[in-house]
Amino acid sequence: MDRQRAVKTLAAVAFALLCAGCTQTSTNCEDEVAAAFERLRTSGRPYRKETVIVVSDQQTYRATAEYIPPDQMREITNIGAPGYGTVELIRIGPRAWSNESGWREWESGLAQEIYGRGAGMDVSVWPDRAVPADAVFACLGRVEFKGTAYVGYRAQLANVLMTSGPLSEEKQQKLLSKLRRMPQHWRTVLLDWESALPVHDLVAEENKLENPRSKVQYSYPNDIKIEPPVQ
């Protein structure tokens, strides 16, 4: 019960801080953002996804993934931590290979078990993951970013702190104070002006899109090829 109470208290604190900074908007454009990611998921177009997440001052996660519908993917990741190298994963239909310590083919059926629901595609663009049901996106209209015009949307993100065990009144006040001092981050999604497909998905402080905490960039080259590894 103490743990449940602690979780509920933190959730309430985070929600209160989020709403304290909200501005009233006449329209929630969540449906438009969700539709953009649905187009990405169902268009049948190959695409490349480049992800950079700043975990800490000492660690930056990087990943480059390529997808060819309906069931081909290649993903290269580096978690950016000492002692961990680059890992590559290839999936073609029912077969998959990874190279954690030299190329190895997965056991029969494992690729389908893991990726079956998304036909081997990008699980992050499933409807329940790309845009949470409670997301509130403001319509930004035309947005200039790095010299290109996009259709932009922005959602305020809640600051959250993780803790465990019972929370005394003093500890609750300290956590609340710490949450208030944390910088406010926003998620900004930029769509291609013509295709309405996602191009940038950024998490950054206000007016700091050029220096985001995390960024995902989508591109749609026609020359992506995914082949089994040379073993």
Q: Are 137 and 32 in contact (CB under 8 A)?
A: yes
* Average pLDDT, rounded, for the chain: 83
The answer regarding whether domain 2-219 maps to CATH 3.40.50 reads: no
pTM score, whole prediction: 0.79
- Give pLDDT tens digits for 157-184: 876 666 666 777 877 777 777 667 678 8
At 39 the pLDDT is: 93
- Give pLDDT tens digits for 103-112: 999 998 888 8
- Give pLDDT tens digits for 41-100: 998 999 999 999 998 888 999 999 999 988 899 999 999 988 888 999 999 988 999 998
At 40 the pLDDT is: 93
Burial of 103 (0-12, 13-18, 19+ CB in 10 A): middle
pLDDT at 26 over 50: no
Q: Helices (DSSP H) in 21-148: which residue ranges?
A: 30-42, 110-115, 127-130
Burial of 19 (0-12, 13-18, 19+ CB in 10 A): exposed
Instruction: Kindly indicate the confidence band of residue 13, based on its pLDDT and cuts at 50, 70 and 90.
Output: very low
- Give pLDDT tens digits for 115-153: 775 544 788 888 888 998 888 999 999 999 999 999 999
